Amino acid sequence: MDRPALKNSPTAERRSIWLNYAVLLYTAIAFAAVLFVANAIISTGNIRWDLTPSKRFSLSEFDKRVLGGLTHNVKVMAFVRTEDPAYLDLADLLFQAAAFTPRLTYQVIDVNKAPGLSREYGVSSYGEVVVESQGRRRDFDNARSDELIPAILQVSSAANKHIYFTIGHGERDLFNSDRTLGYSQWRGLLEQNNYQIDNVSLFASGVPEDARVVVSLGPRKDFLPEELAALARYLDHGGHYIAIIDPYGSPALVEFLKKYYLDFIPQVVVDPAYRLTAGEILTTQIPLRSEENPMSRSMSAPAVFSLGRGVMITGAVGASAPDDLRIAQEDKFLSSSHESWASNDPNALTTGITEYQAGRDIKGPIPVASEIDFAPASNPHIPVQQMTRLVGIGSSAFASNQFIEMLGNRDLAVSLINELAGDEMLIASRERLNKNETAAFYINDQEARHMLIFGSVVEPAILFLIAITVMVRRRFFA
Amino acid sequence: MSNAAGTLEVAGGATESRRAAIRAAGTGFSVGRMLAVTRKELRSYFAFPLVYVLSGVFLVLAGYYAYTDLVFFVTIAFARDIIQNYWQLLFSDIRLCLLLTLPFITMRLFAEERKLGTIELLYTYPLRDGEILGGKYLASVAIFIMMLALTMLYPVYIYSIHSFPLFPLSAGYLGLLLLGCAFIACGVFISSLCESQVMAGMGTITLLLFFWILNWNEAAFTNSWLALLRAFSLFDQFGSFAKGVIDLDHVTYFVFFIVFFLFLTQRSMEARKWTGRR
């Protein structure tokens, strides 16, 4: 509002000026306070428009289902380094989750500022997140903030899901933490998904009643007939079995699986076109994936297999298997490339060098991971999860500590179990997280340089030219 | 009577005549009069080389970042996830270019007029303070939008090579628009306080830098203080736009920031009537 001009004495004028300054200051502070409070009220609403194609910065339907279904309080403590900008994404996710459900509370703690609390929780590294509920606790790394919801699911869920790994035949050890030969990372990932991992001797006790999935991980010695009988009984009762067999491993088991139309061929798969950069031909990417199968669909990248063998399916849908089972569906969900072959060269495995020979070798693509689902002949239309499910993988190395973090191996190793255990929600979560915003694309050097020239040279040059013209006009023609 | 008091009388007299003229022209805030000021400001912007030079400098910097970020995206980020690895990076770099160029657009708004003595002439026009301020602010925003529009060459060029989702990009540009408008509001306020253009430009950069580095030293603050400082940081509020997310509270923060600095500018304009300042 306009004020009349001041024409008082100098003293009164000064007093009036100070008064005006005070009023100005008061008004500014009051106005700022009103705006601040209004902003604070609006920010509690958590209203946002996520314009990214996969809505990656918003809670997914899966996240909302998990959070909405919480029956117990969950406490999340994120031990971070606040200087690290990466933690902002985690903080944002925690804020959204807490805004969605009152059952979740969280605290972001700077490890450097709260060393006592960090020690109390046994946290030694930056970025560790602790999720607690009902006396159960799960930790995960900040770098894997996508694991927040599975971790919440794990600590809040009462279900105890047993996965059994067979022993006694030289199988790989899930409790071995050796950097190359161990499989402890896979066990850790499965435990994060709330699975209880146990070993089982088929000879001593058969398959336990509570088994969700039974896995044979790289058996080298033969199974005894009694063990195969126990396995057959398990399969007859709708069991879910994953056979991961390396080249020349456990011939008796391979023979047993042939009855179920799963044929582990002895030849090793070589794929020079997809070998790792400057690597051997026996360790390759697996480029062909089925988009129909949830296990391969959830992978963020191709798998990497080392010393893999082919896993063929020899029966068609409707083919008859032991115990009056019939093939209900089958899928070769991972295959090597069209340029690959299954080598019969005895030197291939020892030297890593071989050439394709027609007549001796089998031309690719070679399936290296296949699934067959069986239904009883008397009831062929039962749901998939009630069917007998058999998955064959032609190499155990993909899930080892050495390989599990490579490309899509981690997704495959976890999704295998999720799918056979019937945890579709967990698979859906992985699929969402792994969905890329756009397919990768390449811009060559020339195109990039064009952008530099147009953006940084041509466009500004036009403006500089106009500036010079204006200057000259003003100086000489004004 | 002091020189300042003399000025006060002149300004006061001018106010009286202005008030009468505004009464004659019609009551209330007039958008037409404000747009007239905008047109006058734009004419003076384009009549001098400054705006072209600044836009050119801005584009040199932005174009350089667009290229280097593209090289980073293709080589280091393996050309995957264009939103996170390219646009997010580029938008963050462009905001730096804005920080370095926009204060030089706004510095002249009041400071130059004050230095040339034309401010008194402006105050004698039958215009309300709000109309003068709105007109000048809109003119600066128009120049800024022109500068920003020129950067759209980069997405257009990349899109011509390979398509990508455009919606996240629009969120980023909305963020840049709000951020730039906030910078301008801050610059207008500082310009209204200064008589020297250089002082106005440097003052604006300093104030904006303050808002930027507000929460840089996390070690010095507790978590609750840090959250409060983050809420006030212009640059942290921009982060979600660059990711392709429009957060209502971030939008309102920018709007309130702009409103607050325009409010302060108007108070500063009014203060001339009782401080004796021109």
Please report residues of A whose CB lies closer than 8 A to that of B86: none
Please report residues of B whose CB lies closer than 8 A to that of A20: 271, 274-275
Mutate to test the interface with A, among B252, B258, B269 (most CBs of A within 10 A): B252
- For the stretch B209-259, pLDDT in tens is 988 888 777 777 777 787 778 778 887 888 889 989 998 889 999 999 999
Please report residues of B whose CB lies closer than 8 A to that of A478: none
The two structure tokens encoding residue A407: 């490309």
Q: How many angstroms separate the Cα of A143 from the Cα of each of A59, A267, B216? A: 18, 40, 22
- The pLDDT, as a whole number, for residue A286 is 92
B248 inside 8 A of chain A by CB: yes
Sign, CA dihedral A80-A82-A83-A89, equals positive
Q: Are strands A136-141 and A128-133 parallel, antiparallel or unpaired?
A: antiparallel
Would you call B157 and A113 a contact, using CB atoms and an 8 Å cutoff?
Answer: no
A250 residue type, one letter: S
Residue of A nearest to B80 (CA): A440
Task: Let me know: does B11 contact A6? Beta carbons within 8 Å.
Answer: no
Interface of B with A in 161-190 (CB under 8 A): 161-165, 167-168, 170-171
Would you call A3 and B271 a contact, using CB atoms and an 8 Å cutoff?
Answer: no
- The pLDDT, as a whole number, for residue B12 is 46
Question: Is the preceding peptide bond at A365 cis, omega within 30 degrees of 0?
Answer: yes
Q: How far is A114 from chain B (nearest CA, A)?
A: 10
When CB atoms are compared, the residue of B57, B74, B218 closest to A83 is B218
What is the spatial distance between Cα A226 and Cα A330, in angstroms, rounded to a whole number? 28
Please report residues of B whose CB lies closer than 8 A to that of A437: 81-84, 164-165, 168
Mutate to test the interface with A, among B75, B274, B275 (most CBs of A within 10 A): B274
Size of interface A-B (CB pairs under 8 A): 216
Q: Would you say residue B129 has pLDDT above 90?
A: no
Nearest to residue B62, comparing CAs of B90, B34, B85?
B90
What is the spatial distance between Cα A94 and Cα A146, in angstroms, rounded to a whole number? 11
Q: Which pLDDT band holds residue B15 (cuts at 50, 70, 90)?
A: low
B261 inside 8 A of chain A by CB: no
Burial of residue B259 (CB within 10 Å: 0-12, 13-18, 19+) is middle
- The pLDDT, as a whole number, for residue A341 is 92
- Angle of the B108-116 helix axis to the B197-213 helix axis, nearest 10: 160
- The pLDDT, as a whole number, for residue A136 is 81
When CB atoms are compared, the residue of B9, B59, B259 closest to A463 is B59
Q: Would you say residue B179 has pLDDT above 60?
A: yes
Interface of B with A in 202-221 (CB under 8 A): 218-219
B82 inside 8 A of chain A by CB: yes
- The pLDDT, as a whole number, for residue A251 is 93
Interface of B with A in 126-145 (CB under 8 A): 129
How many alpha carbons fall within 13 Å on the CB side of residue B100? 14
Q: Would you say residue B147 has pLDDT above 90?
A: yes
- The pLDDT, as a whole number, for residue A314 is 94
The span from the first CA to the last CA of chain B, in angstroms, equals 16
Q: Would you say residue B5 has pLDDT above 50?
A: no
Name residues whose C-beta falls within 8 Å of residue B238's C-beta, 6 or more positions apart in sequence.
B91, B92, B95, B175, B176, B179, B250
B79 inside 8 A of chain A by CB: yes
Residue of B nearest to A448 (CA): B67
Please report residues of A whose CB lies closer than 8 A to that of B163: 438
Residue of B nearest to A50 (CA): B245
Widest pairwise Cα distance in chain A: 115
Please report residues of B whose CB lies closer than 8 A to that of A6: 8, 12, 273-274
When CB atoms are compared, the residue of B153, B165, B168 closest to A459 is B153
When CB atoms are compared, the residue of B79, B168, B223 closest to A108 is B223
- The pLDDT, as a whole number, for residue A214 is 96
Please report residues of A whose CB lies closer than 8 A to that of B19: 2
The two structure tokens encoding residue B145: 């939008």
When CB atoms are compared, the residue of B231, B253, B274 closest to A16 is B274
Would you call A460 and B164 a contact, using CB atoms and an 8 Å cutoff?
Answer: no
What is the spatial distance between Cα B237 and Cα A461, in angstroms, rounded to a whole number? 33
Would you call A450 and B157 a contact, using CB atoms and an 8 Å cutoff?
Answer: yes
- The pLDDT, as a whole number, for residue B134 is 93
Would you call B223 and A51 a contact, using CB atoms and an 8 Å cutoff?
Answer: no
Q: Are strands A367-376 and A388-393 parallel, antiparallel or unpaired?
A: antiparallel
- The pLDDT, as a whole number, for residue B9 is 41
Residue of B nearest to A3 (CA): B273
Would you call A48 and B70 a contact, using CB atoms and an 8 Å cutoff?
Answer: no
- The pLDDT, as a whole number, for residue A134 is 83
B35 inside 8 A of chain A by CB: no
- DSSP assignment, residue A195? E
B155 inside 8 A of chain A by CB: no
What is the spatial distance between Cα A71 and Cα A290, in angstroms, rounded to a whole number? 37
Q: Which pLDDT band holds residue B8 (cuts at 50, 70, 90)?
A: very low
- The pLDDT, as a whole number, for residue B25 is 58
Would you call A437 and B83 a contact, using CB atoms and an 8 Å cutoff?
Answer: yes
Please report residues of A whose CB lies closer than 8 A to that of B164: 437-438, 441
Please report residues of B whose CB lies closer than 8 A to that of A145: none
CB atoms within 10 A of CB A270: 30
Task: Let me know: does B50 contact A438? Beta carbons within 8 Å.
Answer: no
Please report residues of A whose CB lies closer than 8 A to that of B157: 450-451, 454-455
- For the stretch B180-210, pLDDT in tens is 999 999 999 999 888 888 999 999 999 999 8
pLDDT in single tens digits along all 478 residues of chain A: 445 554 556 666 666 777 777 888 888 888 888 888 888 887 777 788 988 887 778 887 778 888 888 888 999 999 888 777 777 788 888 888 998 899 999 988 888 888 888 888 888 778 888 998 888 888 877 655 667 887 888 788 766 689 999 999 999 999 898 988 899 999 988 887 778 899 999 988 789 999 999 999 999 999 999 999 999 999 999 999 999 999 989 999 999 999 999 999 988 999 888 877 666 788 888 999 998 898 998 887 889 999 899 999 999 999 999 988 999 999 999 999 999 999 988 888 778 788 888 888 899 899 999 999 999 988 888 998 899 999 999 999 999 999 998 888 988 998 999 899 987 767 766 665 655 555 566 677 788 888 889 889 999 999 999 999 999 988 887 6
